[in-house]
Amino acid sequence: MCGIVGFIGRGPAAAPILDALRRLEYRGYDSAGIATLERGLLTRRRAVGKLKNLESRLTCEPLDGRIGIGHPRWATHGRPNENNAHPHAVDGVAVVHNGIIENHRELRKELKLAGARFVTDTDSEVIAHLVNQQLKKGCEPIDAVRAALPRLEGAFALAFLFEGHENLIVGARKGSPLAVGYGQGEMYLGSDAIALAPLTDMISYLEDGDVAVVTRQGIDFLNSKGEHLRRPPAKTAGSSVLVQKGKHEHFMVKEIYDQPKVVGETLAQYIDIVSGTIKVPKAAKLNFRDINRVSITACGTAFYAGLIARYWFERYAGLPVDIDIASEFRYRNVAFDSSNLAIFVSQSGETADTLASLEFAKARGQRVLSVVNVLGSTMARASQIMLPTLAGPEIGVASTKAFTCQLATLACLAIAAGRDRGVLSAEDEALLVRALADVPRYMTSALELEPKIGELARNIAASRNALFMGRGTNYPLALEGALKLKEITYIHAEGYAAGELKHGPIALIDKEFPVVVIAPGDSSFEKTMSNMHEVIAREGRTILITDHKGASLAAGSWSTLALQDMPTIVAPLVFALPLQLLAYHTALVLGTDVDQPRNLAKSVTVE
């Protein structure tokens, strides 16, 4: 989490840094800060809360330095307050940091013994002290950074500014992303290409262990031994305009409504409707005949997309699937097998745990495939096979369109696997492809239920708890529905496999308790209805989300929302939409911060 920006140019640095921080606010929004050199002296402005607080501060107390670094923070160590906000400065050095310094306690102790005076509760402050210690020994700034880096354990992307050095920013990376951008007489540093998009589309990415020496004249990349490296710039496709909400009040609802279009575009790259076949990019050289097992690893919503895909790989391709939350994967004793395909799913392509798991699998000889939304991301670059989702920039912190685009891509992959392995006939494949091609239409019709969902949301908003349940692919969907609700409304919600309810959670049910039952009229419908009636018998308030067929068979639910009838394979993609809208409308009733809910950040770049 947190973002990094650096600017060195001819004009004032604060405005372009602020603009880049706006683009990086998805990485953290509990405080922000900028440091520049004013007549050679380090000057900082920091503010707690959203970026607009820093903007107001800068209006009253402007900065006019032509070199600077900036940072939007998501707190890991130390409460969000102005004092803990980056940049951290010690004597003549200032630093911004993304990542976690795992040995900060030991370093702090050692530095204190050597006379350092700490003024923040952060792990990051040790970095400024370590570099300052080297400067005091007489090192030049670049050597001071290079001498300090080996002392740091954990993950970091860093940018340093030095008093008296008006033409120098030093960047460094280990585990967290960092890019440099090339301008005319100007140079930039940023956590990603999007941050730098209005300034440049020529970007080089730092690799782990790189140090970047940035001046107005250009950039020099060094390795840990101080040897020069080549990191040639490449043109990026980062959008140069800030994504707008259009007619919508929030990014989240805009992104919910984007889904028929972006899922359609994502599907269009993987299906051929005329021939009724799946087309996995030839460059991927992927043939599932050589694969005997699939492992899927991801976090949060992307993990739930993976859970749904497990049902598809098993059902349509007869492939055994292991699935892990990324923060667990690396710490299990996974039995790696050369016939395994290791799949990683991520919107950002930067989630620290998923990225570390990917590297872990790759180092053990696994074939690595990632399903990623941000094309220039570290995961996209690190994967042998990368299947992009075309959701476009997702700004709302709660993932919506990225989820359904992940599902669309994974469904295509599972069908391709079934075809390659001879489990699906050409007719089966064509039927499934045609079903997928209709997803945008089913989604558009599901969105028409929004007024009714708005009414149901009032009921949920009146509760402190909610339960979501379903069977088969509707079980991970229940998990996702509960996650969406808790993220943006702060209502405690749980997702359960419907058959599991009576093994414990049913004890929670009383007439105050809303239970969302996800049950299209598929093969598990009757069993889920039995579970719903177990809830009704205990006076639970059930909201049944089903299709027309299910609605005609179901009776007794407190409320029923009926979507169009649709083929089983597409139901998870379409049923996600009413769940997203339910969370969104509940948040509207409660007046919470929909796009930037408390304590969260869009991209989780720390473990």
Min separation Cβ 394 and ligand F6R, Å: 8
2 has catalytic annotation? yes
Catalytic residue among 254, 484, 486, 602: 602
By beta-carbon proximity to ligand F6R, the closer residue of 130 and 604 is: 604
Min separation Cβ 64 and ligand F6R, Å: 37
By beta-carbon proximity to ligand F6R, the closer residue of 16 and 376 is: 376
d(CA 17, CA 201): 16
Residues whose CB falls within 8 Å of the CB of residue 386, separated by 6 or more in sequence, listed in order: 369, 370, 372, 379, 380
By beta-carbon proximity to ligand F6R, the closer residue of 43 and 399 is: 399
Residues in touch with ligand F6R (CB under 6 A): 299-302, 346-348, 351, 354, 398-399, 483, 487, 603-604
In this structure, are strands 218-222 and 211-215 parallel, antiparallel, or unpaired?
antiparallel
Helix or strand or coil: residue 225? coil
Q: How many CB atoms lie within 10 A of CB 282?
A: 7
Class of residue 241 by CB neighbours under 10 A (exposed 0-12, middle 13-18, buried 19+): exposed
Q: How far, CA to CA in Å, does 542 sit from each of 440, 537, 559, 584?
A: 28, 11, 6, 19
User: Which residue is nearest to ligand F6R, using beta carbons?
Assistant: 300
The answer to whether residues 443 and 573 touch, using CB atoms and an 8 Å cutoff, is yes
CA-CA-CA-CA torsion sign (587, 46, 76, 303): positive
By beta-carbon proximity to ligand F6R, the closer residue of 27 and 57 is: 27
Q: What is the CA radius of gyration of the chain?
A: 25
How many contiguous H segments (helices) and E segments (strands) does the chain have? 19, 27
Catalytic residue among 2, 299, 405, 412: 2
Class of residue 325 by CB neighbours under 10 A (exposed 0-12, middle 13-18, buried 19+): middle
By beta-carbon proximity to ligand F6R, the closer residue of 31 and 351 is: 351
Min separation Cβ 348 and ligand F6R, Å: 3
299 has catalytic annotation? no
Min separation Cβ 192 and ligand F6R, Å: 12
Dihedral pair phi/psi, residue 565, rounded to 5° = -70, 145
By beta-carbon proximity to ligand F6R, the closer residue of 1 and 161 is: 1
Min separation Cβ 350 and ligand F6R, Å: 7
Q: Specify the residue for token string 């400065």.
A: 89
Min separation Cβ 354 and ligand F6R, Å: 5
The residues assigned a catalytic role are: 2, 602
